[in-house]
Structure 1
Amino acid sequence: MSIKQRITSAYRYIEPNLFFIGLFGSIGFPAYYLIWTYLFPQPYENLPLRLVCAFLFLPFAIKSQMPSLFSRYKEKHFVFTICFCLPFFFCYMMIRNEWSVEWIMSFMAAIFLSIIIIYDWLLILIFTTIAASSAALLGYMAMGNIGIGFHSSYLIVFSFSYFTGICFNYRNRIEIESKQLFSRSFSGGIAHEMRNPLSALYASQEVLLELLPENLTADPQQNRLISNAEIHKLRTIIKDNISIINNGHNTINLLLSSIDSQKISPQSFNNLSINDVIHNALNVYGYQQKSDRALVFFQINKDNTFFGNDILLRYVFFNLLKNSFFYKEKANFKIIISVYSKKNETVISIKDYGKGIPSSSIKNIFTEYYTSGKENNTGLGLSFCKKVINAFSGTIECYSTENISTTFIIRLPMITSPIIDKMQYDLMSTKKILLLGDNSKILTDMNHLAFFYNFTFNNQKITSYNTINNEKNSYDCIIIDINEIDSELLVKIYNHIATTTIKIILIQHQHNAKKITLSKTHKPYLLNYNHIDTLQKKLITHIFTQRIPTNISQKTVHSNRAKIMIVDDNMSLRLYSGILLKNSGYDVVEADNGQTALDYLQETTVDLILMDSQMPIMSGIDATKEIRTNNKYKAHQHIPIICYSGSLDNTHKKELMSIGINDFLLKPSSKSTLLDIVNKWLE
């Protein structure tokens, strides 16, 4: 970075605070003349020099009123003012006052102020050296002997103050810039990840418009009826759109949840099939032309399991494919993806026969904001890809021969490797597990495992369906001792958990005479218990195995129709949720803000409220407080209120529960999730 760029960067860093710097400087310099002249007289004072400094600081305080010509020189004026008025002025005055204690302390304060204001260490070093040398030269010209009162130990104190100040400020600057770069990287990642699904959604909407008739008329000859084949196409397109939206929503959540910690959180990591993830990525990638898919060849000898997140790995492939297809017009262009095992790792090779990358650029391609050969590129894609692979405890490398090919090599550790064992061990401490049953041997073993892995463990007896009804959303895994439950209750509890991503383990005792009928659906979760090692392996495997919620068909309510109020300022969401609830047999009323909801509740009663937390006029939070505390709504003070929100962390959830919120729904929610939570609170 050149000196000019450094000056520009330093100016932008401090610009928001320039008004206060200018105000204190323009007032402080003449004010301290009075202090050092009359209140605490010093051997030497210089009013003209102080007025020059005050004059130089004044443009900072009135920068909005300065002429446009000044803006051309504002950065140079900034650096000159700080260096002249701080290190130069205070060093000169210290020399002229024969190194008095007051001016030694003032000079040290000036050093720290200049370091804080101009945070760039190189600029500080250069300009402070020039300023101090100039002050010493001017002092020598005025006094002759500038060593009166000087002691060599002062240099040690000044040097220590100066260099420690620079080091600490430089470290702080690097930390701040690292956070900014990481946040910008993630923002760019979100934008990049959403381009493909948005393009796919746009194309599908065009198809929907083509398949749907513009209107229905009374004239049969002008009516274009939709055929069964077209209905099937419409439903397929809509399902694909829902899948695209869900993938995009999950990706955004993953990226945003990682910004605070400046790293990709492993909380969502699971044991995943490399073959499945790559096949999925190749199938859903937004190819510009259908023929582009034929240019990609995938070969795998043996499927391996890796520990990571499928959405993030898919993002890596999307980015590499996009970069490769940029040069697809080259003759004999193709992309070959190969997967093979090597020692204790899985190697993924992505090779394209495109333009290649110059050898001078290879070392920089994973650097944030570095671009080469492509216009309108942010330079964020490959740097984020590296963050993803590093988060999986893997590595990514690039090899290229210009005008021939480029190969990216991704190395991921095997699921059995020690580094993955360590990651899973650390993650287990964040898990919460529930055991339904009171067998003493299982209970003892689970307590041992909880102590070893430091996870949260709870135990309940299986008494009824309600045992699990109010607790299921709080756990990562629920273990059920099927020898203490009848088949009918087991199916009911299982179906209730199956609509979530909670992991399920069913334990049966090999030497127990009691038999229970299990369907094929239950078999993958069954454990024949005999030893703690068996339980440990099953638990770790299931905790880190991805589980998709089962779409259990919801029962439609026909009798005693419950009335549900949807309170949300988003009309589309009210319409969407209302249709699903009405089709399931509920009566639905709508309100666009908390005040409208309260007005309605004074006139009639409802059985459940779906409440958005943030709305204009009156928020859902304020409306909930009114319902829970105001006697005007006494009939509804114990009604279930479900908070409908785009994102909520655990701290926010606890705050909302303290004011009377009963449960939470992340919007947009699927039909099964919405009806499941409504049925739960109305049963």
Structure 2
Amino acid sequence: MDIKQRITSTYRYIEPNLFIIGLFGSIGFPAYYFIWAYIFPQPYENLPLRLVCALLFLPFAIKAYMPSIFYRYKEKHFVFSICFCLPFFFCYMMIRNEWSVEWIMSFMAAIFLSIIIIYDWLIILIFTTIAAFTAALIGYLTMGNIGNGFHSSYLIVFSFSYFTGICFNYRNRIEIESKQLFSRSFSSGIAHEMRNPLGALYASQEVLLELLPESLTDNRLISNAEISKLRNIIKDNISIINNGHNTINLLLSSIDNQKISPNSFHHFSINEIINNALDVYGYKNKSDRELVFFQMNKDNLFFGNDILLRYVIFNLLKNSFYYKDKTNFKIIISVYSKNNETIISVKDYGKGISSTSIKNIFTEYYTSGKKNNTGLGLSFCKKVIDAFAGSIECYSTENISTTFIIRLPIITSPAVDKMKYDLMSVKKILFIGNQNKILSDINHLAFFYNFELFYKKTSSYNIADLNTNNYDCIIIDINTINNTLLTELQDKIATTTIKIIIIHHKNDAQRITLSKAYESYVFEYDHIDKLQKKLITQIFTQKKPNNILFDTINSNKTKIMIVDDNISLRLYSGILLKNAGYDVVEADNGLTALNYLQETAVDLILMDSQMPIMSGIEATKEIRTNNQYSLHQHIPIICYSGSLDELQKEHLVNVGITDFLIKPSSKTTLLNIVNQWL
């Protein structure tokens, strides 16, 4: 970067604060003349020089009113003004005042101010040196001897102040820039993830328009085959939208302090992820899919996140397809194991990368001449693979091929064990049972992994506890639990991602009825090591909520109120609930809902948290505390919101919210939670 670019970068960095700098400078320089001339008289003062400095700072304060020609030279004016008014002025005044303590301190303050304002170390070094030497030269020409009061030790103090200021400011600048780079890279990742589903949705809407008649009077009727196609297209669209939501939610939740957080990491099948990526990737043409070949010797598990790995595959595919017009172009994806690593190879027979470019391939903002390329995709891919404790490399031969090699540690490797150990410290485990030996073993594991352990005796356990505590895993001693409580727990956990471990004892005479979905979670307890292995496996094996719909309970008599200011979401949810046999009423805000409840009873409320006139939170408070709504004080109120963190959920539970539903939700999720509370 040359000096001109450095000056431009420096100006952009400080530009938001120029008004304050200009205000202080234009007022401060003249004001301090009276302080040093009359209140604390100094041997030398210079009002004309101070007025020149004030005039140089004034354009910063009135920048919006300066003529257009000023903007042509604003960056040069900025650097000259700061260097003239800070290092030059204060150095000159220090020399003329024979190195007095007041002016030595003022000069050191000027050094720090100039470093803060012009953060670039090279510009500071060049212009401060020029300013100091110029001040010394002018001082010598005007007063002859400039050494009166000077001690060589001052140079040590000035040098220390200068270099420590530069080092600290440089370190701060690097940290800020790294955060900016990460944020831009992260934003690019979200944008890239959205392009694929949006492209696929656009293509499917074209097909829908083609299949649907233009009007009801159109002579062309829709055949059963076309209806089937329409339904399949809509299902695909729903799947694409869900993938997009999941990706954005994952990317947003996985960022912690400018790094990818491992909190969402689980065991995943590489085979499934790559096949899924190849199925949902937004190919520009259907024939593009035939250019990709996937070969796997053996499926492998890895510890990480499926959506993030899919993002990496998407990015590599996008880069490869840029040169798909090359003769004999194809992409070969291979997965194999070697030296306790799983290796993913993505090889394309495209243009290749030059040896000079390949060294910078994972550097932020580096591009190799592709149009509309931000240079952030591969750098973010590297961050993802680094977060998986793996590595990514690139090898290429120009005009022949490019190969990306991703190395991921196997799930039993020390690196993965270390990640799991660290992640266990944020987990919440519940043990339900009366067996002291098991409780003692779980306490030992809690001490070792530092996770939060909750203990409930079977006789005192209340199923409502699951609504207030976000457990990661529940360990149940099957020997001390009855069928009724176990069934309630199974039904409740079925719609969540809570992991479950059911401990069975040898020679257990008690017969417990388990649904088939939970038979795989039963294991025979005999030693703490076995329990430890089962717990770690279960915690880091992803569980998806069951999508089995329950039969509606008295659906013909059940009335549900939907309270939401978004008419489209009210319509969407209302249709699904009506088709399931429920009676549905709608309200567009909390006040309308309260007015309705004064006249008619409902059995459940779906309530948006934020609405105009009266929010869902205010309406819930009224329902729970006002005797006017005594008939509804204990009915389920489901908070229907776009996004909620744990603190918000805790607050809403205290207000009186029964459960939560993220919108838009699938038909299965909506009906599951409604049936669960009815």
TM over 0.5: yes
Q: CA deviation at 1:462?
A: 4.0
TM-superposed deviation, 1:551? 0.9
SS at 1:82 equivalent: helix
Q: Give the equivalent residue in structure 2 for 1:237.
A: 233
The worse-fitting range, judged by mean Cα deviation, of 125-134 and 586-595 is: 586-595
Q: Which of 423, 426, 437 is matched with 2:419 structurally?
A: 423
Residues 169-202 of structure 1 show CA distances to partners (whole Å, capped at 9, x for unaligned) of: 1111111111111111111100001111111112
| Cα displacement (A) at 1:130 | 0.9
Q: Deviations over 1:563-614 (max 9, x none)?
A: 3322222222111222222233333222223333344344444343322222
Which amino acid counterpart does residue 93 of structure 1 have in structure 2? M
Aligned to 1:506: 502
- Residue equivalent to 1:523: 519
What letter corresponds to residue 148 of structure 1 in structure 2? N
Q: Supply the distance in 2 between the matched residues of 1:472 and 1:623 (Cα, whole angstroms).
A: 21
* 1:255 to 1:488, Cα distance in 2 relative to 1, 3 A: same
**Per the alignment, do residues 671 and 418 of structure 1 end up closer, same or farther by CA in structure 2, a change over 3 Å counting?**
same
The range that moved more, 440-449 or 114-123, is 440-449
Within the candidate set 371, 375, 386, 1:375 is matched to: 371
Match of 1:454 among 442, 450, 455: 450
For the residue of structure 1 that corresponds to 2:260, the secondary structure is: coil
Bigger drift between 296-305 and 411-420 goes to 296-305
Distance (whole Å) between structure 2 residues aligned to residue 508 and residue 307 of structure 1: 28
Counterpart secondary structure, 2:325: coil
Matches of 1:393 and 1:561 in 2, distance apart? 56
Letter in 2 for 1:241: N
Q: Is the 8 A contact 1:216 1:223 kept in 2?
A: no
Matched, 1:615 2:602: no
For residue 270 of structure 2, the aligned residue among 241, 253, 274 is 274
Instruction: Look up the match of 2:477.
Output: 481
Q: Report SS of the residue matched to 1:222.
A: coil
Unmatched 5+ stretches in structure 2 = none
In structure 2, the partner of 1:666 is 662
Q: Does 1:224 align with 2:202?
A: no
User: Within 5 Å, which residues of 2 pair with 1:108-123?
Assistant: 108-123=108-123
Q: Deviations over 1:28-80 (max 9, x none)?
A: 11111111111111111111101100111111111111011110001110111
Name the counterpart of 1:349. Answer: 345
Structure 1 residue 376: Cα displacement: 1.0
1:361-409: CA deviation from partner (whole Å, max 9, x where unpaired): 0111111111102011111110110011000000000011111110101
- Within-5 A mapping of 1:12-51: 12-51=12-51
- Residue range with higher mean Cα deviation, 196-205 or 610-619: 610-619
Matches within 5 A, 1:362-441: 362-441=358-437
Structure 2 letter corresponding to 1:224: L
Relative distance call for 1:639 and 1:133 in structure 2 (3 A) is farther
Matching residue of 1:157: 157
What is the distance in 2 between the residues matched to 1:465 and 1:99? 79
Q: Distance in 2 between matches of 1:405 and 1:179?
A: 34
What letter corresponds to residue 583 of structure 1 in structure 2?
A: N
Aligned residue for 2:140? 140
Q: Deviations over 1:648-673 (max 9, x none)?
A: 22122223334333332222222333
Number of residue pairs aligned between Structure 1 and Structure 2: 678
Deviation at 1:410, TM superposition (A): 0.5
Distance 2:393 2:533 in 1: 34
Kindly provide the amino acid, as one letter, of the partner of residue 383 in structure 1.
S
* One-letter amino acid of the counterpart of residue 71, structure 1: Y
1:474 counterpart SS class? coil
Q: Aligned AA for 1:204?
A: S
Aligned 1:463-478 pairs, distance under 5 A: 467=463, 470-471=466-467, 474-478=470-474
Q: Residue 5 of structure 1 corresponds to which residue in structure 2?
A: 5
Q: Which TM-score applies when normalising by structure 2? A: 0.95
- Measure how far apart 1:540 and its partner are: 0.8
2-structure distance, mates of 1:164, 1:590: 65
CA 1:180–1:514 in 2, change beyond 3 Å: closer, same or farther?
same
- Seen in structure 2, the aligned counterparts of structure 1 residues 274 and 121 have a Cα distance that, compared at 3 Å, is same
SS at 2:392 equivalent: strand
Q: Deviations over 1:198-249 (max 9, x none)?
A: 11112222223333344435xxx9361441x333333322222222112111
SS of corresponding position for 2:463: helix
The answer to which of 382-391 and 274-283 deviates more is 274-283
User: Structure 2 CA distance, aligned partners of 1:442 and 1:392?
Assistant: 33
How far off is 1:529 after superposition?
1.7
In the alignment, residue 479 of structure 2 is paired with which amino acid? N
Alpha-carbon distance in structure 1 between the residues aligned to 2:515 and 2:654: 41
Identify the residue that residue 553 of structure 1 maps to in structure 2: 549
Amino acid at match of 2:35: I
Contact 2:254 2:263 (8 Å CA) reproduced: no
Displacement after TM superposition at 1:625 (Å): 4.1
Please report how far the alpha carbon of residue 638 of structure 1 lies from its aligned counterpart in structure 2 after TM superposition.
4.6
In structure 2, relative to structure 1, the CA distance for the partners of 1:285 and 1:159 (3 Å cut) is same
Q: Which runs of 5+ in 1 are unaligned?
A: none
Does 2:331 match 1:335?
Answer: yes
Opposite residue 567 of structure 1, the aligned amino acid is: V
Asked if 2 retains the 8 angstrom alpha-carbon contact of 1:10 and 1:118, the reply is yes
- Residue equivalent to 2:579: 583
Q: Residue type of the partner of 2:561?
A: M
Change (3 A) 1:215 1:111: same
Deviating more after overlay: 460-469 vs 435-444: 460-469
Residues 423 and 441 of structure 1, relative CA distance in 2, 3 Å threshold: same
Residue in 2 aligned with 1:311?
307
The reply to whether residue 90 of structure 1 matches residue 90 of structure 2 is: yes
Q: Describe the superposition over 1:64-118 as per-residue Cα deviations: whole angstroms up to 9, x where unpaired.
A: 1101111000111011101100110011001000011111111111111111111
One-letter code of the match for 1:515?
R
The one-letter amino acid paired with 2:22 is G
- Structure 1 CA distance, aligned partners of 2:313 and 2:556? 52
User: Are 1:469 and 1:680, in contact at CA under 8 Å, matched by a contact in 2?
Assistant: no
Report the counterpart of residue 54 of structure 2 in structure 1: 54
Q: Is the 8 A contact 2:254 2:262 kept in 1?
A: no
- Asked whether the equivalents of residues 554 and 672 of structure 1 are also in contact (C-alpha less than 8 Å), the reply is no
Mapped to 2, the partners of 1:258 and 1:510 lie a distance apart of 42
Q: Is the 8 A contact 1:468 1:493 kept in 2?
A: no
Which amino acid in the other structure matches residue 334 of structure 2?
Answer: S
8 Å contact kept, 1:436–1:459: yes
- Paired with 2:486 and 2:623, the residues of 1 have a C-alpha distance of 37
Select between 206-215 and 127-136 the one with higher mean Cα deviation. 206-215
Give TM-score, length-normalised by structure 1. 0.95
Distance 1:463 1:672 in 2: 33
What pairs up with 1:228-307 in 2 under 5 angstroms? 229-307=225-303
**1:511 Cα deviation after fit:** 2.0
Asked if the contact 1:436/1:481 (under 8 Å) is kept, the reply is yes
Per the alignment, in what secondary structure is the counterpart of residue 572 of structure 1? Answer: helix
Report the secondary structure of 1:467's partner residue: coil
Q: Contact conserved, 1:509 with 1:528, CA < 8 A, in 2?
A: yes
The 3-state SS of whatever aligns with 1:302 is coil
Contact kept? 1:482, 1:508, Cα under 8 Å = yes
Query: Does the C-alpha gap of structure 1 residues 259 and 67 become closer, same or farther in structure 2, counting only changes over 3 Å?
Result: farther
1:678 matches 2:678: no
- C-alpha change, 1:173 and 1:305, in structure 2 (3 Å) is same
Q: Decide whether aligned partners of structure 1 residues 98 and 675 sit closer, same or farther in structure 2, where only a CA change above 3 A counts.
A: same
1:482 Cα deviation (Å)? 2.7
- Describe the SS at the equivalent of 1:376: coil
User: 2:438 matched to 1:442?
Assistant: yes
- Percent identity, aligned pairs only, is 79
Write the deviation string for residues 595-637 of structure 1: whole angstroms up to 9, x where unpaired.
Answer: 3334434444434332222233433334444445556555545
Q: What does residue 100 of structure 1 align with?
A: 100
Secondary structure at the aligned position of 2:27 is classed as helix
**In 2, Cα distance between the equivalents of 1:580 and 1:441?**
49
Q: Aligned partner of 1:277: which letter?
A: I
AA aligned to 2:456 is Q
Greater shift in the superposed pair: 594-603 or 279-288: 594-603
